Structure 1
Amino acid sequence: MMMRTHVLETSSTEWLEVLARCRHDSHHTPGWLRASEHQDSGKAFALHATDGSHELFVPLLRRDIDGADWDANSPYGYAGPLVSDDAPASFVDAAMSAAMALLREQGCVSCFIRLNPLLNAAWHSTIGTLLEHGMTVSIDLSKSEAEHWKETTHGHRLDIAKATRAGVTVRLDETLETLPHFIRLYNGSMDRLRADGYYYFNDDYYRTLARELGDRLRLFVAEEDGVIIGGKTVTVSESAGIVQSHLIGVDTRYMHRQPSKILMHAIRQWGRERGHRCYHLGGGLGGSAEDSLFRFKRGYSPNTHVFRTQRIVVNPARYLALCGGEPSTLQDLSGFFPAYRRT
């Protein structure tokens, strides 16, 4: 059957209809994409391809290059491709080829996709280049409290117990009334870590995320004697049972209480009690490196997943021209991609 490929806007009812048919994460929702427009300075859309029996769905952001050319990029997070559960491998490549042909017709030069470590674990495609970047960590929420505690490292257990004895509590802020305070804590944490500008989010991002996601965005705050000493946001995909780690901020005056550890512990307990399947913590710095951040997360669970990206040169002639005509930029896509955006 002939492949039909088209572009979906975030306002399209078909977007939600596709998600209803496919197991998806919160990062695939139109609300997440609309919020990402404020972070990545792009216009959200999705590619949808179907042969009548199977379907492919890829959410992306359109980013201008020079006023004429543009490229496509996954939003912040893990909004990898979705495909029908029973779709054969041959469909994936045929659908991806058709989708990239449509992008090329509309002036796209390249496409960069961040695969979802959970939903795209079995993803195989010969279109472009697939690269592995490291591991992410998740907690199996179907396990018991005793099993979770056993999988937690001694250091984490010790700090969680100390914080609990000191009177530190964690609560779910149902109304997001503490969100402004959390944002200040998060930005302060990024300042302390000397984080790249990409990890700072403007007010429009937070407002859009809170409005669009509703109860799919959850804010947990850690408190001692009525003082908020840390906070963490997560997103929830009810259909897939995925709790996805988002942002965390702590008050530097209370670092001795290790609020990040008791927050992780409390959210793990909340997800388990709610009957969710998985709490995905992400990877190390930049989402993939096996550094101190990765080891911190690994201290809660032995479950790891491969984080991969897919890089596709949609229009080789324009890509080469934007890269200054150097042929090697087309031969090896394993470095910074797209190469013409390297500063």
Structure 2
Amino acid sequence: MIEVIKDKKEWNELLAKVKEMDFYHTYDYHHLSKTKKESPILLKYTTGNTILVLPLLLRAIENSIYKDATSVYGYSGLLVLKLDPQFNKADFHKELNAYFNENKIISVFSRLHPYIHHQEDLHSGLGTIIELGKVVYIDLTDPQDVQRAKYNRRLKTYVNKARKLCSVFEGNKEEHLNIFIRLYEENMRRVNADDHYFFDTDYYHQLLSSKEFETKLMLCQHKKTKEIIAGALFMKMGNIVQYHLSGLSNEYFQLNPIKLLIDEMRVNATNEGYKYFNLGGGLGSEEDSLFKFKRGFSKEHKTFKIWKYIVDEKAYKALTKNHFKSDLDNEDFNVGYFPAYRAPLKAQKI
């Protein structure tokens, strides 16, 4: 049986029974991440003693009777509350598919969570799973000297220098949030980031105010000038710490303060008993300069995968043809973007 959960209390009560999850699955994160055209839902599948949940963002498709579903930005995918030894995956897929068809949901997309082991198996067989790239993590179960030994030589030099010239402290939203936002946006402009990397002020306030997960605002202050020169938001939930957002002053770029902030969080998170410190990957999952920056902290990595499912191929093709205003009968609709009918006319990779 498939149930649709929208109530915050019910959503939270279900997630409280999940052993492996992250802040990306929470009610609060879905509601602060959604656009005006998206509706967060939690699909609950129950059969016998098995209970599975799948968080999604539901969207109407303009000028049609159809909808589609996507995931929040980050790592989402299926969660297990209970899994009966008699669980039949084919039955689960059949019911999920029936729900999508009954509600005219013609395609579904979800970023899977690299640290939740069962997801690929539960999703596979319905649609396709694609490997996009690597995400770097620090194994916090290693002794701290072993963690530090895995830094590359140049990174150790940068962190040592930054620690001599700067101090790190935990900020709060009343005194320091506006400073962080300024530094973050300054950094995003410096790297010519797309518009979707910029957020309204309420987004940051909700992150720091949520009771469903813990958000740490760490700031770096130059000892001599007393100026706050960098900041980062780290998200904590379960056994995982996520490196979420960061920014720094262009004037102090050469001091590498972000590296110092990550190093400080590594120490703190290890002392607090977390298992993984996820630094993420490169832009668009490429092994670019951002990926190399993170790779300097650790050679440990997980594979980042996505799940794509075309529920109604006929409607999907019709919408895609109409979107590109062309005859695509001889094409496979692989335009480097999913769903294809939402692709920018100059299609880019996911």
Query: How does the TM-score come out when normalised to structure 1?
Result: 0.90
Residue matched to 1:182: 180
Matches within 5 A, 1:151-162: 151-162=150-161
- Return closer, same or farther for 1:319/1:328 CA change in 2, 3 Å cut-off: farther
Preserved contact between residue 217 and residue 234 of structure 1 (Cα < 8 Å): yes
Preserved contact between residue 311 and residue 333 of structure 1 (Cα < 8 Å): no
Give secondary structure in 1 for the equivalent of 2:243.
Answer: strand
AA paired with 1:296? F
Residue 15 (structure 1) shift: 1.5
AA paired with 1:156? L
1:31 aligns with 2:33: no
- Return closer, same or farther for 1:54/1:267 CA change in 2, 3 Å cut-off: same
**Which runs of 4 or more aligned residues in structure 1 lie more than 6 Å from their structure 2 counterparts after TM superposition?**
none
Preserved contact between residue 35 and residue 208 of structure 1 (Cα < 8 Å): yes
Preserved contact between residue 78 and residue 119 of structure 2 (Cα < 8 Å): no
Distance (whole Å) between structure 1 residues aligned to residue 195 and residue 275 of structure 2: 33
Residue matched to 1:230: 230
Distance (whole Å) between structure 2 residues aligned to residue 85 and residue 159 of structure 1: 46
Residue 332 (structure 1) shift: 5.9
Distance (whole Å) between structure 2 residues aligned to residue 176 and residue 271 of structure 1: 24
Distance (whole Å) between structure 2 residues aligned to residue 87 and residue 193 of structure 1: 48
Give secondary structure in 2 for the equivalent of 1:177.
Answer: helix
- Return closer, same or farther for 1:285/1:213 CA change in 2, 3 Å cut-off: farther
Give secondary structure in 1 for the equivalent of 2:293.
Answer: helix
Residue matched to 1:130: 129
Residue 210 (structure 1) shift: 2.6
How high is the sequence identity, in percent, across the aligned residues?
33
Preserved contact between residue 284 and residue 294 of structure 1 (Cα < 8 Å): yes
* Residues paired across the two proteins, number: 333
Residue matched to 2:339: 338
Residue 336 (structure 1) shift: 1.1
- Return closer, same or farther for 1:131/1:328 CA change in 2, 3 Å cut-off: farther
Residue matched to 1:326: 328
Residue matched to 1:97: 94
Residue 215 (structure 1) shift: 5.9
Matches within 5 A, 1:272-287: 272-286=270-284
- Return closer, same or farther for 1:199/1:96 CA change in 2, 3 Å cut-off: farther
Distance (whole Å) between structure 2 residues aligned to residue 174 and residue 95 of structure 1: 44
Match of 2:255 among 249, 254, 257: 257
Residue 328 (structure 1) shift: 5.8
Preserved contact between residue 81 and residue 120 of structure 1 (Cα < 8 Å): no
Preserved contact between residue 49 and residue 95 of structure 1 (Cα < 8 Å): yes
Residue matched to 1:307: 304
Preserved contact between residue 48 and residue 99 of structure 1 (Cα < 8 Å): no
Give secondary structure in 1 for the equivalent of 2:76.
Answer: coil
Residue matched to 2:114: 117
- Return closer, same or farther for 1:94/1:248 CA change in 2, 3 Å cut-off: farther
- Return closer, same or farther for 1:128/1:214 CA change in 2, 3 Å cut-off: closer
Distance (whole Å) between structure 2 residues aligned to residue 298 and residue 107 of structure 1: 43
Residue matched to 1:80: 77
Preserved contact between residue 137 and residue 301 of structure 1 (Cα < 8 Å): yes
Q: Tell me, which stretches of 5 or more residues in structure 1 are unaligned? A: none
Residue 213 (structure 1) shift: 4.4
Distance (whole Å) between structure 1 residues aligned to residue 222 and residue 55 of structure 2: 41
Match of 1:290 among 265, 271, 287: 287
Residue matched to 2:10: 14
Preserved contact between residue 51 and residue 82 of structure 2 (Cα < 8 Å): no
Distance (whole Å) between structure 2 residues aligned to residue 204 and residue 84 of structure 1: 32
When the two chains are superposed, the root-mean-square deviation of aligned CA atoms in Å is: 2.2
1:60 aligns with 2:60: no
Q: Tell me, which stretches of 5 or more residues in structure 2 are unaligned? A: 322-326, 345-350
Preserved contact between residue 51 and residue 80 of structure 2 (Cα < 8 Å): yes
Residue 96 (structure 1) shift: 3.6
AA paired with 2:56? L
AA paired with 2:30? L
Residue 13 (structure 1) shift: 2.5
